[in-house]
Structure 1
Amino acid sequence: MSASELVLAYRGSSLSPVEVLRAVLDQVQSLDPHINAFRVVDEEGALRDAASSEQRWLRGTPCGPLDGVPVSVKDMVATRGMSTMFGSCTLPQGHLSDVDAPCVDLLRRAGAVIFGKTTTTEFGNKIVSDSPLTGVTRNPWDLSLSAGGSSSGAGAALAARMGPLAVGTDGGGSIRVPAAWNGVCGLKPSFKRVPTQEPHNVGELSNVGPMARCVQDLALMLNAMARPWPSDWQSFGGPVEDFCRGLNRGVEGLRVAFSVSLGVIEVDPQIASAACNAARLLEQHGARVSWLEAVEPLQGYMKSEMHSILWMARSEQLVRRTPEPQRQLMDPEILALADCGRRLSAPRLMDALQARMELASAMHAFFDRYDVLVCPSFHHMPPPTPGLPPNMRMAPPLTSWCNQTQQPAASVPCGLSREGLPIGLQVIGPRFHDGLVLRVCRGYERARGAFPAPPMVLASEELS
């Protein structure tokens, strides 16, 4: 069931939050030994919170729109009662176990039951699903394949029905890539639409966002998380928005720019075909689709290496601030990036920052002509795990530029490959038009119809 369905069931007294949490915990116990989506589960604390929620529903006084809904949190987001280890062996036990990040605090205020921490690549560094701390997280659609990164466990847990909602983070595609490879939905909001409070050292690239199995739940979750946070000086200062309002208005009349490759990367033919079919479906439902070979402002994006340069500088700082004895415990990929970062010159870094500003300005102008831009979420199907294939060591070409320009971008499933693997469609909107992105995703989702569960989930349901 979706989070929206669960809340309706609580309101009608046909289900209780305790029953639902026990079902989620049973699913984790059954399937997670095969998938490894969770670093830790707080069964005792979650059952206590679910029992409190149950009493509120019995009294008819729910504390918020997510009261009693189980939510998992990526292990890069501070969560009181559970340590936050960033997928790393370099941090002390119990790290950040006494505080909630703003988004977790806001979710608790909305009544969410926080029950576990999902796996991440070390410090959110790469788009495949292994880390020194937790090992390999596997894709529920095919256990030999990557679940994507860096919100690896979040995407895999949702696909395997181990909870309806998950908190992810995205510094270059880390919500959208796992969403695409696991056949679920994920939104990278506009920068700081969801407050984070702590400063970032990745050039304002990193975002916290919702992940779910349907677009309605993304909107419901974003409603809870996208709130003012006075101590975060960069947080969005505009009015609080109801992202569920207008969600079902459809796509008729919207100006949709569609490009298979954006002109920046060769795309797997199966992915290209699924994305084109999705664009045709939007067109059939009234969208005014412009079919583009390339998006002109992005033509120099990969050549500029702006994302890679900022990421190398971030890795250098991360390793430099890690005590020498712990560095040998880090992922070799981070150490290699840090080595490149040490050799960066100030002019090269400044050129990358200048290129970023120019790209953001050009894409801002692009959205004067179009309401949204649609393309695949990733250009390649998930690789075998573990390890990062050589052809994926570049900045994710279809997703990372949105982090540079601080625009909202979401991934929604748009089909299956010949091998039965999910394919993701990416919808990108102008900065702070997160609601529009969700509306287009929902319009497509309704036109597409129901999306299947992974075979291992269907098999477990038949057995039960």
Structure 2
Amino acid sequence: MTGLPTSLCDCTATQLLALYRSGQASPLEATRAVLQRIERLNPQLNAFCLVDAEAALAAAEASTGRWQRGQAQGALDGVPVSIKDLILTKGWPTLRGSHTVDADQPWDVDAPATARLREAGAVLLGKTCTPEFGCKGETNSPRTGITRNPWDLSRTPGGSSGGTAAAVAAGLGPLSVGTDGAGSVRIPAAFCGNVGLKPSFGRVPAWPLSPYGSVAHLGPHAMSVADAALLLNVLSQPDARDWTSLPPDGRDYRIGLEDGVRGLRIAFSPTLGYAKNVHPEVAAAVERAVQVLADLGAHVEAVDPGIDDPLEITTGLWFVGAATVWSGLTPQQQAVADPDFRAEAELGLGFSAQQVQQLVLRRGALGSHLRQFMQRHDLIATPSVAVPAFEARPAGHSPMDPAAMLGWTPFSYPFNLSQQPAISLPCGLTRAGLPIGLQLVGPMFGDALVLRAARAYETAHPAPRPPLAGR
């Protein structure tokens, strides 16, 4: 095959499957290469909090045998995959970045996402780092320390799926599963220069459901849009444990990926009408990216959706969720909690039931407004995050308030509130060599449309890999 990376670690999942199919490489070879790179780079990145090389090699050996017999088990047979450490995984502790979780207990249940990965034949590598309970847009915690960005080790990979994004960007497995409650898939995808998809709420079943409620989505991290579509095919299979999940649509999200954007109506909103501090290099790169979509035949209109900044709604509901978790901890557990999580919980404890209900009603009005806006537009294009990756910092480095928590990512959280599908994909680098993300938001249930538009841009503007991956 031509045009492939020189290392199996830098192949996409789609490329690896083609190599397995042709006999040019095996799952065992790919897994060994990835594990060797993890051993070399993870001490610098701290992307993984658990690696089970023995289990991964055993799974890869079994997969290799299936491919040799022409009996591939499923859509991801032999592909190395990691899982964010908020997602239950049988046989491994799920510590949620927290000293409050006791590792010494039975771990005998797979979450829906993990179960679907096993059924598809994926090689599970281990668990990726998260801040405590996924509570913030940086990946640091007292339990696992600071996770770092493959493009610049002094910078954060974002969060809360920061370990997931850093692992994929550095070639420590081509696929990973993240979670997104206020941008936690898209923020690290933007900071690490890869593809992060937040599907429509309920498209990917979850269990147990997040304490942060119906803003929380599960989604793919990948180095290509085709890989994100492939992983969504697997993750979106039904699971009765999630009573909020959507009925399966039987869709193969790879079909139609190459249909382009000609004729699509894209609302380009560089500030969403309220973001005041967008970094100039981010703004310029996203404007160039939207022009690429126009050159490909999309009808681009500069228009804001007409919403006020819903930061107060997002953080209010988020803090109440944190308070719910906090209230279930013992005093001994509270004493060892992340100071950022403690601060969020204390803010949440100050909300009355009436105030929470008012936030819910304001959220409903926002969602209704955006549903109506999407009747006139197929997609919304914005920056993914207002700033490039900033300094990697320890837990508790700054006082916690709404602006400190999410003020620098004003484009992500509105679409958790509205539950719409949204994707971040790389659209350039700053002069300092840090990735910039383009966000494309679709109508509710328009996951395939979001992937299709992202693929059109990706085809016209391939993304570079971080220099760390080649070291």
Q: 2:440 aligns with which of 408, 411, 427?
A: 427
Paired residue secondary structure (1:73): strand
Shift of 1:439: 0.5
Matching residue's letter, 1:314? G
Structure 1 position 385 matched with structure 2 position 384? no
Contact 1:139 1:146 in 2 (8 A): yes
Mapping for residues 187-336 of structure 1, pairs under 5 Å: 187-266=197-276, 267-292=278-303, 294-296=304-306, 298-302=307-311, 305-336=312-343
Contact 1:82 1:94 in 2 (8 A): no
Q: 1:442 aligns with which of 442, 452, 455?
A: 455
Shift of 1:309: 0.6
- Where structure 2 has 5 or more consecutive residues not aligned to the other structure, the ranges are 1-10
Q: How high is the TM-score relative to the length of structure 2?
A: 0.94
Q: How high is the TM-score relative to the length of structure 1?
A: 0.96
Question: How many angstroms apart in 2 are the aligned matches of 1:95 and 1:183?
Answer: 37
Name the residue aligned to 1:16: 26
Q: 2:88 aligns with which of 58, 78, 98?
A: 78
Mapping for residues 52-131 of structure 1, pairs under 5 Å: 52-94=62-104, 97-131=107-141
- CA displacement 1:323-344 (0-9 Å, x = unmatched): 1111111111111111111111
CA, structure 1 residues 31+300, in 2 after alignment: closer, same or farther (shift >3 Å)? closer
Matching residue's letter, 1:299? D
Name the residue aligned to 1:453: 465
Contact 1:383 1:389 in 2 (8 A): no
Contact 1:71 1:112 in 2 (8 A): yes
Shift of 1:392: 3.3
Structure 1 position 51 matched with structure 2 position 61? yes
Shift of 1:295: 2.1
- CA displacement 1:299-327 (0-9 Å, x = unmatched): 2523xx11111111011111110111111
Shift of 1:393: 2.1
Name the residue aligned to 2:5: none
Contact 1:140 1:159 in 2 (8 A): yes
Mapping for residues 352-391 of structure 1, pairs under 5 Å: 352-387=359-394
Mapping for residues 102-181 of structure 1, pairs under 5 Å: 102-181=112-191
Moved more, 198-207 or 402-411: 198-207
Contact 2:197 2:228 in 1 (8 A): yes
Moved more, 227-236 or 436-445: 227-236
Contact 1:254 1:371 in 2 (8 A): yes
Shift of 1:455: 1.7
Name the residue aligned to 2:416: 403
Contact 1:84 1:95 in 2 (8 A): no
- CA displacement 1:9-51 (0-9 Å, x = unmatched): 0011110100000000000011111111000101111111111
Name the residue aligned to 2:8: none
Q: 1:339 aligns with which of 332, 340, 346?
A: 346
Contact 1:84 1:94 in 2 (8 A): no
Question: How many angstroms apart in 2 are the aligned matches of 1:317 and 1:95?
Answer: 23
Shift of 1:201: 2.4
Aligned length, in residue pairs = 454
| Percent sequence identity over aligned pairs | 43
Shift of 1:397: 1.7
Shift of 1:259: 1.1
- CA displacement 1:169-206 (0-9 Å, x = unmatched): 00000000000000010101111100013233223111
CA, structure 1 residues 205+96, in 2 after alignment: closer, same or farther (shift >3 Å)? farther
Give the alignment's Cα RMSD to 1 decimal.
1.2
CA, structure 1 residues 17+2, in 2 after alignment: closer, same or farther (shift >3 Å)? same
